[in-house]
Amino acid sequence: MKIEGKGKLLKIYIGESDKWEHEALYHAIIKTVKEHGLAGATTVRGIEGFGANSRVHTKGIEVLSQDLPIVIEVVDTEERINEIVKVIDPMITEGLMVMLHDVEIIKYAKKD
């Protein structure tokens, strides 16, 4: 079965070493999103990037960074994304970035 419709994509750009209450921030955000029942979320670990401080984070042979870039992507309806942004807002600190995109969702699901 194919389900289609409009939605929102929430992208959160953080560093691998960012924490929330002694836990990896990316894990805390994914856990919170799941607890609130959103449609889906993925954490992607980058191999290179830079942020607000312009320091390049890379995983090269000569340098093994402990703070590689992380992108968390969350997809759901606009209403649910707007609500989860309010919930995770206290977790987001200076230097991190959050982006919202309008998306067209195509979901392939099992027939009942």
pTM over 0.85: no
Where are the chain's structural domains? 2-108
Give me the mean pLDDT over the 56-70 stretch. Answer: 63
- With 0-12 / 13-18 / 19 or more C-beta atoms within 10 angstroms meaning exposed / middle / buried, residue 25 is buried
For the stretch 6-41, pLDDT in tens is 999 999 999 888 999 999 999 999 999 999 999 899
Please report the pLDDT score of residue 64 as a whole number.
Answer: 55
- Is the CB of residue 85 less than 8 Å from the CB of residue 34? no
CATH architecture of the domain formed by 2-108:
2-Layer Sandwich (3.30)
The residue to which tokens 């401080």 are assigned: 53
The residue to which tokens 């994914």 are assigned: 30
Q: Is 17 strand, coil or helix?
A: coil
